Amino acid sequence: MTNIKDAASEFLTHKRVAVTGVSRSPKNHGANVVFNRLRDRGYEVFAVNPNAEQVEGATAYHDLSAIPGGVEAVVIGTRPEAADQTMRECAALGIKHVWMHRGPGQGSVSKTAADHGREHGIAVIDGGCPCMFGPTSDPGHKAMRVVLSLGGNVPRQV
């Protein structure tokens, strides 16, 4: 097992990142926050939404395989039920780094998705948010990391 800070640091070294679940109606939607933060921090980020052509002023891709040139890492920002299919797609495409977003509540974490990913050699972070760590963090997200770690929504080890 790897501690969360090291896993987050490794994840954030990958500059071509897809974010699933980016909504056409953002209103503080977690996936949109992550998408915009990564984009603002210089990442080449791709929005995935099977029901949209465009989100946040960018092209939306219907699935991971539609992204030209592929990606190195994926942030899952959908309901947990959708995470299983996304993880299977990541395994099929050879994507080796996946972060299942989780703030307060269930978030996108699915135990079956995490298990499947790990069985296929994927480094899975099952909780927390990329905005809580390293170059994508901000004071508010750092404070949330502390609080949500106490409740188990940010894992200590992955």
DSSP symbol at 136: G
Residue 96 in this model has a pLDDT that exceeds 80: yes
Point out the least confidently predicted range of 5-9, 14-18, 83-87, 149-153. 149-153
Phi, psi angles (nearest 5°) of residue 125: -105, 115
E strand spans, 97-148: 97-100, 123-126
> Average pLDDT of 81-93?
97
Q: pTM for the full model?
A: 0.96
pLDDT band at 79 (very low <50, low <70, confident <90, very high): very high
- Give Dmax over CA atoms of the chain in angstroms: 40
4-150, superfamily in CATH?
NAD(P)-binding Rossmann-like Domain (3.40.50.720)
Q: Where are the domains of the chain?
A: 4-150
Give yes or no for a contact between 8 and 134, defined as CB atoms under 8 angstroms apart: yes
pLDDT band at 64 (very low <50, low <70, confident <90, very high): very high
Q: Which amino acid is at 12?
A: L
Percent of all residues in the chain with a pLDDT value above 70, rounded to a whole number: 99
